[in-house]
Structure 1
Amino acid sequence: MTVLPAIAAFAEDLTAIRRDFHMHPEIGFQEHRTSARVAELLASWGVTVTRGIGGTGVVGVLEGSRPGRTIGLRADMDALPMEEQTNLPYASRTPGVFHGCGHDGHTTILLGAARYLAENRDFAGRAVFIFQPAEEGLGGARAMLADGLFDRFPCDELYGLHNSPYHPHSRVTIRPGIAQAGAGFFDIRITGRGAHGAYPHMGRDPITIGAGLVKELQEIVARNTDPTHAAVVSVTEFHAGSAYNVIPGEAVLRGTFRYLDDADGAMIEGRMRRICEGLAHAHEVEIAADIRTVFGVLSNDPARVANLIDVAQGVVGDLAAPDAELTMGSEDMADLLNVVPGAFFNLGHNGTVPLHNPGYVFDDSILPVGASLFARLVEVRGGAEG
């Protein structure tokens, strides 16, 4: 493995930065401290900084020493609304907020690449460092796009990564073409009529209606999606009632749906709306359905995947390969890749606890590896012809 020596020399600094972010996590569109620290560090290295893109997003621009192509690198900054249970000395100091997906590591990796490139400047073209807010289901990528991200900072290619406790240390995996699912979230509120549990005929029971709704939603994929297409609908919350003998007046269901074909996503959303309308009519209640697509289908440009693997093999050797499995997990870099051709890859580490688990621990030893991968993408691809 060939971590860039200059990056290896400041690896301890990267660990300190990452752990500082970890101690002060912020959820989507509230990354005020994080974005301020990112901007401060970039500016201290001579990177031109623009703040407030898409809310709390930050973009840094660095000119190389000679003409070339513009390479975009992206990292997400937000944490999750969950409690940390690691007992680490640098554990979250914010109750109910935790970097349980490693975005603090992604941010630090991109900062490491920016520092190296700023201190060396021996590359062609321009590097654009994109620090995105609100990846965890709040639409940070779309907010940056709506704020003119690529109109203001055009890129020829775009790359991003995600840490992976599911792969060996420094293993780079990626899948050409469709790689991750598109995703939608839903909130469904059933407004019935409350009554005594002994006299259900006097009410309109939202719990039984909701239970039937759960069953109907499961049948969307089972009976409306081509069996050769991957899709899933999951009801993940069901809230109703407060006493043994009271039929409540309201029930709330929430959940997600995933798909690998945009037509399937549109079909699922349409069926959900019609099912809610039909049940409302049948049971003489009101059902309000808030259904929204939050991520598009992530598709990696095959040519950029080949470029990435070529660069990654120069850093991690045979640990880099285009052999990632198709996943129903989602990532809102999909929306950025719909505008600029690029590639989104996984970087393995020695963590043993899954992402989004309260005991998840990011492995700091991959910080210089990730930073070297990002830096080399700029150095190699900035001088490429296409």
Structure 2
Amino acid sequence: MSVVRVGVVGAGMAAARFAQQVAARDPGISVTMFGDEAHPPYNRALLADVLSTRFGAEAIGLPVGPTAVVRVGVRVAALDARRRALRLADGEVHTFDAIVLATGAGPVLPPMRNLRVASTASGSAGRGGEPSLDLLAGVHAFRSLADCAALAAAAPGAERAVVIGGGVLGVSAARALAALGVAVEIVHQGPHLMERHLDAPAAAALLAGLAELGVAVYLDNRARALTGTDRVTGVELANGHVLDADLIVLACGVRPRVALARDAGLRVDTGIVVDDRLGTSADGIHAIGDCAEFAGDVHGLAAAAWDQADVLAAHLTGGGQRYAGSRPMMRLTAGPLAVAAFGATGARAGDDVVRVADPTRNAYKKLVMRGDRLVAGILIGDLSTAGALTRAFERDDPLPADPLHLLAVPGAYR
């Protein structure tokens, strides 16, 4: 089938990368992106840097290529998979040769009393057809530029903030709010921070770095209720302790936005199930990014979204690439709490592990090697060797005989 017109539901990082790659490979293909946010595509991974004022909102915009049309503030209400048609909320219907679902993921709301979340019973729907949020005043999600702007407006008048969730997003938000002069506390259910990416010693170094910024952390704690009537006044923990707060940030993870796909009859598990060509269960309908599930995995990371966008762009422009999964990589680079992690944090029997720690500087480095290949790594504090190490990890290249040298000398491996 010849593809001339492609419709993309979503205008996030995966969608922007896909449009850019299609334009580079075949400028004769038109790509129309429908984004329900008011902003054109931007790098969501840099939201905390916008909040901390390190970057302006315009600085994190993403290119989409010269042949893409981006329609912002537009919600897609329904997908007709058989006709390859999209019906917009205003009733417009558009048909395409291929449709790409890049609906992303939405914030997970914790099971807390007094959070006040609206249901879909009223007919109100947010991004990707998911329920819209109606949170107690002073409570914020942190997933979009609009969320970022609301937090930035609230921060100057806030005395104490509580971030619920100690993953990548929670740590990023806490660091940004601390940079704005707000007293910040993190409540995290897990035994240590960012447990998806860090081992216990690395998390301890991160914890010490946060303490130096004045951020307090409550581990192995669950927030069970918010206090306050018209606006939030605090967070009640499961042990009964109450943290005073006039600003709450919800950073409890994300969930793939799949309502549009499910309503259209596509196969959905945790995410929209795709094959190695990023095709869904319906011919001509594809999915990429945080909403897509491949081989049982939903990565939820920018690197994986871009991998998928590249493979799909190649496929739709006549290439033979197939998607085989992505190697997980995470990086936070701004400020004193620089973190990079890739691969699984644990080591198998027979793996070689190299660790270097400097508690006086809250620095920690760890490499996991299987034979002469790098299979995982964690860097806290000093990221001078991160680029070389992640390249070796991505390319699955053999390592030199002395891997410790890679941790000590920037640019030692290229």
Structure 1 length as normaliser, TM-score? 0.27
| Greater relative contact order (Cα < 8 A, sep 6+) | 1
TM-score (norm 2): 0.26
